[in-house]
Chains A and B, each alone.
Chain A
Amino acid sequence: MGAYYGKTGTVVWDASAGDETIDTVTNWSIAATCDVADAADMSQTYHVFYAGFKDWTAIVETNLPTTGLEVPITAGVDEALGEHTPAKLELWTDDVSTEVLYGSAICTDITVAVSFDAVVKATYTFQGTGTLAWSTTEPSYA
């Protein structure tokens, strides 16, 4: 068991419709949270919490390829955001250890940044809807 490098990570969007790999990813991150409700009352000295709903979001940063935006692969910004039906998002940490975080998500934010002294960047933000799963094998979809 050891640490490993992130350079072979991959991202797959709309995975249930086929392996639509997002190319030229430079980094991705996922944030999973859990609401907590404070149950402290006047008799206590410390806060006491109860767990509520879980939630998750993901951010995928890319160098924009010359073929254009990839969410979805063949459409532009406006059409991408028009995908109101959640799609399967797979975030692979590594192509060797086959560890993957996956779930249904909606692409809620696309940012394209162009600067005279840098490569063109595209960043996608996903709002998870429903369960986030972790697997060490290829996810299968019904």
Chain B
Amino acid sequence: MAAFHGKSGTVTWDTTETQANVLSWTINATVDMAEITDMGDTVKTYVAGFKDWTATIEIETDSSGVLIGTSSILTDFGTAKALVLNDGNSTISGTGYLMGFSINTSLDGIVTHTLNIQGNGALS
């Protein structure tokens, strides 16, 4: 059991579209908490509610355009498709909406774009 490097990570969109030039990806999975503390308690107590997840993918933009997978981000903006995130060792997948993006251009750096995915349903 050992740590491992992220350099072999991959991202696939819409089942078959391999994302090129990925710099990093992050997935954040959460569960809502409802507080059930009442009078007489001294410490807060909670029960778990709905699960949720989001993902962020940072990409080095190339001359092919600003893409998610092999699709234009404007084409898939607001659309839910299958997302597969591989860290080089294991895979996390689910269906998510491309719910936002940013394009980052600087006078002293490479152009990158960042994709924000809102998960829709379960992760596996």
Q: What is the interface of chain A, defined by CB distance below 8 A to chain B?
A: 23-24, 53-56, 63-68, 76-78, 80-84, 106-120, 127-132
Contacts and interface: CB of A to CB of B under 8 A. Distances in A.
Contacts of B42: 53-54, 131
Given A54-B43, A108-B33, A127-B46, A77 B1 contact: no
Interface residues on B, range: 35 or more
Nearest to B27: A112
Interface of B: 1-7, 9, 22-31, 33, 37, 41-48, 51, 53, 85, 87-90, 92, 122-124
Nearest to A122: B87
A80 B123 CA distance: 11
> Taking each of B31, B37, B92, which has the highest tally of chain A beta carbons within 10 Å of its own beta carbon?
B31
B46 to A, nearest CB: 5
B14 to A, nearest CB: 20
